[in-house]
Chains A and B, each alone.
Chain A
């Protein structure tokens, strides 16, 4: 009678862990789980899927370079499907398409088909007989056929040029591109300013993109400073950096009055061009020329003078969409061994030992700054920095929102060539010592001991019997998260709350 209202439930979203004693309400649970906002790196497919509608996609498919990029970005099975129906003029029944794949890879095939549908590469149509069929998007089909077999108009930047009197070779272009790109990175860590050289300055447009991308932020006290995402950006490999940066650039290009499809098409044309060859900017629109100037600033193209109608794409612009760094593989046939060696030297400078020591053969303040994010630096010599990976240093990086995966991939990417020649490296996928890799991952997992469950707290029961009855009921339908008989408190999963509440009402009524 008196205890009918005793079991009051607190109808608030409370989190509770295994050790959970808190019944306070954090504002956003997913934020707590994920930690601070991380750098979101989208690949091309995701970009198309999230930012474009079917109509705009169709518009994009009018540009053959975009189609080629989309095609190469598809899953392997999807690519086979497309090529099989590329020369078929009628729609193909869905049953026929699904019979092409082996039974045990049905899941993979499912993913491929849904990917093709979501990118609007093919669509469902009905054929006589009431069967559902796939039909390639006509614009996509036309563009891909054109790329493969020819016909149609040539791409805009391929006008014939007179022979360049002073052609630039690949080595020059590489060093030019890297020096331009490093300018941007140096600006981000602020080392450029400290040296005070004018060549290191970057244009207001580039700064705007960095701000827009949240890689840097404007601070009242210190002017423009790097953000947490910015540090994560620095850990990416160059290709991913360029890609992320360009994606952010494209976001802002509509504001500037440059058409997005044209920009994308231009970007992919560059990415499919041949390294070391000159192209013509003749006949480009005013906006595209402005775009070209921006690309020039970031080092994606080389142009001797602003007004010159000739430019060279650099390695940064090539294959921007590919997920893996393909540049080491692109040139194996043409490049001589010595050149190859030189480039390898340029790339890799880090040696990681099994005792967690990190030796970095570098004098670049940028690389040292990045390394300092997750290692404890011990000594510095003119061309060598020695550090050690400790639990504290790695945890500090993890707290900063850097993931273990990012640290490992950074170390892998810049591993010294000698690291790749060690026997264990040849047999396994990673060239780092397995103990170090595992330990870094373990240090990350250490931080993820909590699992978060949304729940409802029940407390202030008047009698132990009430509490025990309700607890046992919650346990029997498997929604109990935590309970304490002494304090007569229990936490129930959110989806079980309605059931338990109903049960409680029924129970208290019958008792009353």
Chain B
């Protein structure tokens, strides 16, 4: 009896996973000031090729799977795929499945346009990763609203970046992560160079995977191994264990990661130095009582 019940639940599960829509949104960091891109501009092409192949592999899994790609740079984030309105008509030129060639053509064309029109960069600056993830969440929630009743949609975001720590966007990042957690959206990160602790926190919060790639040559294999299985599928496979997450917060005054600091009792903003007025919610604090020396106080009371 138990065995029978077991079988029926597993088939039901399988049936459900077959009929649900899996949406994958890839956020691709195209900031020219990433170190690997500056070292060798060819690297960006390689990353792009790997990402397109990975996206198509996702589409290949099931007919219902959906893909969206967002590029993220230092000044803007743009949709590379799909484009609003009717898609560009692409005819098959070789043995590639026409949907896949369409993805490839559209992404390359769009990215080309964006890179050509980008403003010139005088000094290295941060990528707007948090904003792009936010945009991805908006897109997901729009599609979620449009799904007909009775059909489930599982969504996730994959961030592909070679950027350094972006602690100046700490607040935005945290808002994005907790929104994603609330919506049940998994955020995965594939870092090409740095162990970005903020993104690690995000993956941990939303129970996604974080991976730091050690060899750029094998990027596609890394992606296919770790990030292709859907979150529902992952517990059935052996995947790299989660790294120890650095949960330090960055202070709101200097945007630096700190171990010990001051926290506003009203809005929970974090500061590395004491200030009498909270810069976030403008609460006025009483001066800490312990600070004035005892002797003086006594004298004053005596007077």
Can you list 16 contacts pairing A with B, beta carbon distance less than 8 Å?
A76-B14, A80-B229, A83-B57, A99-B238, A102-B235, A102-B236, A102-B238, A150-B100, A150-B101, A154-B94, A319-B63, A322-B18, A329-B147, A329-B148, A344-B148, A425-B149
The residue on B at minimum CB distance from A157 is B92
Residues B238 and A148 in contact, CB atoms below 8 Å apart:
no
- Closest 6 CB pairs between A and B? A152-B95, A150-B96, A324-B19, A146-B95, A158-B92, A105-B236
One digit per residue, 1 when the CB lies within 8 angstroms of any chain A CB and 0 when it does not, for chain B 122-162 equals: 00000000000000000000010011111100000000000
A148/B143 contact (C-beta < 8 A), A76-B233, A153-B95 known: no
Q: Is the CB of A154 within 8 A of B237?
A: no
Cα–Cα, bound, A421→B143 (Å): 18
The complex places the Cα of A75 from the Cα of B225 at a distance, in Å, of 17
The answer to whether A328 and B148 touch (CB under 8 A), given A80-B229, A158-B98, is yes
Partner of B95, one of A77, A108, A155, A272: A155
When C-beta atoms are compared, the residue in chain B nearest to A159 turns out to be B91
CB A106 to nearest CB in B, in angstroms, measures 10
Determine which of A77, A146, A332, A425 lies in contact with B96 in the assembled complex, contact meaning CB atoms within 8 Å. Answer: A146
Asked if B220 is at the interface of the complex by the 8 Å CB criterion, the answer is: yes
Q: Check if A160 is an interface residue, CB within 8 A of chain B.
A: yes
> Interface size of B by Cβ–Cβ distance < 8 Å?
51
Interface residues of A, CB < 8 Å — how many?
56
Question: Given contacts A147-B95, A421-B149, is CB(A277)–CB(B89) below 8 Å?
Answer: yes
CA of A99 to CA of B98 in the docked complex: distance in angstroms?
35
**Contact call A80/B233, Cβ cutoff below 8 A:** yes
Query: Are B228 and A83 in contact (CB-based, < 8 A)?
Result: yes
Would you give the shortest CB distance from A403 to chain B, in whole angstroms?
15
Closest Cβ–Cβ distance, residue A404 to chain B (whole Å):
15
Do A87 and B221 contact each other (CB < 8 Å), given the known contacts A80-B237, A149-B96? yes
* Whole-angstrom CA separation of A46 from B224 in the bound complex: 28
Q: Which residue of chain B has the shortest Cβ distance to A145 in the bound complex?
A: B95
Q: Which residues of B contact A322 (CB under 8 A)?
A: 18, 62-64
Beyond A83-B57, A150-B94, A155-B95, 20 additional pairs, beta carbon < 8 A? A64-B97, A68-B97, A71-B60, A72-B61, A76-B17, A77-B236, A80-B228, A101-B238, A102-B235, A148-B60, A151-B96, A152-B94, A272-B97, A272-B98, A273-B98, A274-B98, A274-B99, A326-B19, A421-B149, A425-B150
A152 cross-chain contacts in B, Cβ below 8 A? 94-95
Interface residues of A in 330-373 (CB under 8 A from B): 330, 332-334, 337, 340, 344
For B33-77 the 0/1 string (1 means CB < 8 A from A) is 000000000000000000001001100111110100000000000
Q: Which A residues touch B101, using CB under 8 A?
A: 150
- The CA of A64 and the CA of B86, in the complex, are separated in Å by 27
B91 contacts A158, C-beta separation under 8 Å: yes
A44–B273 Cα distance when bound, in Å, is 67
Query: Which of B15, B96, B101 has the largest count of A CB atoms less than 10 A from its CB?
Result: B96
Question: Is B290 part of the binding interface, using a Cβ–Cβ cutoff of 8 Å?
Answer: no
Does A400 sit at the interface, judged by CB under 8 A? no
B82 at interface by CB-CB < 8 Å: yes
Q: A83-B57, A333-B82 are in contact. Are A426 and B149 (CB under 8 A)?
A: yes
CA distance A274 to B97 in the complex (A): 11
Alpha-carbon gap, A244 to B66, bound state (A): 28
Evaluate contact between A83 and B224: CB separation under 8 angstroms. Answer: yes
Contact status A329-B96, CB under 8 Å: no
Question: In angstroms, how far is the closest chain B Cβ from the Cβ of A326?
Answer: 5
B104 — nearest CB in chain A belongs to which residue? A150
Q: For residues 177 through 202 of chain B, which have their beta carbon under 8 Å from a beta carbon of chain A?
A: none
Beta-carbon contacts under 8 Å, B101-117 to A? 101, 104
Contact of B18 among A84, A108, A323 (CB under 8 A): A323
Cross-chain contact A149 with B92 (CB below 8 angstroms): no
B187 → chain A closest CB, angstroms: 21
Would you call B245 an interface residue if the criterion is a C-beta within 8 Å of the partner chain's C-beta atoms? no
Centre residue among B15, B94, B146, B150 by max chain A CB count within 10 A: B150
Give complex CA distance A334, B102 in Å.
Answer: 15
Q: Is A417 an interface residue (CB 8 A)?
A: yes
Nearest chain B CB to A31's CB is how many angstroms away? 24
B148 in contact with A150 (CB, 8 Å): no
